[in-house]
Amino acid sequence: MKIGILTSGGDCPGINATIRGVCKSAMNHYGMEVYGIHNGFRGLMDGHINRLTEDSITGLLTLGGTILGTSREKPFKKTSAPDGNSKSSQILKTIKDYGLDCLVCIGGNGTQKTAAKLMEAGVNVVSIPKTIDNDVWGTDISFGFDSAVSIAADAIDRLHSTASSHQRVMVIEVMGHKAGWLALYSGMAGGGDIILMPEIPFDIRNIGDTIIERLKKGKPYSIVVVAEGINTPDGKKAAQYIAEEIEYETGFETRETVLGYIQRGGSPTAYDRNLATLMGGHAVELISNGEYGRMVALQGNKISSIPLIETAGKLRLVTEDHELVVQGRRMGICFG
Ligand code: F6P
């Protein structure tokens, strides 16, 4: 049996550990052949594919990024470009030419959508959720998230000293696309005083009041954690907008930091390595059972899977009743 494997969308810690999990169990346990497809779905268009061997997957457990390369290619996206519809037919041709029996697609929301389209086109597909944003619907956690939370929490820890030494407000912007998971988890772990997420509307006066209240309690400094996806006027960058508004509202000296791609880089945490390994192994188990059209998922403490069609096009967002929000509010943290 021949499996094709690809990684698509933004890179994140744990992708290589997943590739390793898929390859090792497919080759060692099931006697399958694995083919690496390069640069996401683009590799299926230009035929950039090679057989993976024990040698080519050595040292992957701790390695950041993806050895297969990635892209944000969306071959099924409707386009008026002349080559628009030919992309999907080229993909089907490549799969046939290489004699691939099925595909393992590792990626975030966009990838789940494309994988579902491939399934509808008759391809045997199994997908694995990967994103630092943790916004793939149907899985409690995507690998990459824990590593990004650790990096962001460490960055927030380091801002505390400048905040207290200079008696400033420090605003830190973290990623997350349209979801606030990364801001919520890193903000809580890093002891943020104000945490702003796209899912919870904010009022700048409440934020100002929180900062003034802290001053009255003898804390003339605050840490504000802002998700990149919060609503700002005229598309202004989240941290810049919030920092300007805080300075205007409170008169406090305010500084902003945008953490950026550092959140996506480097070695996965031990948690992500194990999650990635388990998810990779489960994908191969699904293939060996002929259970296609499914996305591997973590539900509670159990690795299972859901139909791809259920997750495609949906987002997993923070809700006001999430236990970290409820507990944070009880502790006096301002969420907007
Ligand atoms: O989806 C992951 C993510 O890191 C988002 O949080 C961020 O908005 C986006 O990717 C930016 O990535 P790129 O610049 O690679 O498109």
69-87: pLDDT as tens digits: 999 998 888 776 665 568 8
Sort strands 294-299 and 2-7 into parallel, antiparallel or unpaired.
unpaired
- CA 53 from chain centre, in angstroms, equals 28
Residue 10 CA to ligand 1 centre (angstroms): 6
Q: Three-state SS string across 174-238, please?
A: ECCCCCCHHHHHHHHHCCCCEEECCCCCCCHHHHHHHHHHHHHCCCCCEEEEEECCCCCHHHCCH
Q: SS3 for 152?
A: helix
Residue identified by tokens 């090679």 is 50
Compute the average pLDDT of residues 199-209.
97
* Rounded distance between C-alpha atoms, residue 296 and residue 281, angstroms: 10
CA neighbor of 16 nearest in space, from 71, 73, 50, 57: 57
Could you say which DSSP state residue 29 is in?
Answer: I
pLDDT for position 83: 58
Higher local confidence (pLDDT), 306 or 88: 306
- CA 253 from chain centre, in angstroms, equals 33
CA neighbor of 9 nearest in space, from 39, 37, 38: 39
Is 133 close to ligand 1, i.e. is its CB under 6 Å away? yes
Residue 11 CA to ligand 1 centre (angstroms): 9
Compute the average pLDDT of residues 270-280.
98
- What's the predicted TM-score (pTM) here? 0.96
Report the DSSP beta bridge partners of residue 93. Answer: none
Residue 298 CA to ligand 1 centre (angstroms): 22
Is 135 close to ligand 1, i.e. is its CB under 6 Å away? no
pLDDT tens digits for range 98-149: 999 999 999 999 999 999 999 999 999 999 999 999 999 999 999 999 999 9
Q: In ligand 1, which atom is closest to the CA atom of 261?
A: 4
Q: Do 34 and 3 meet the contact criterion of CB atoms below 8 Å apart?
A: yes
Compute the average pLDDT of residues 307-315.
95
Phi and psi based region of residue 332 (left: phi greater than 0; alpha: psi -120 to 50; beta: remaining): left
Q: Do 207 and 254 meet the contact criterion of CB atoms below 8 Å apart?
A: no
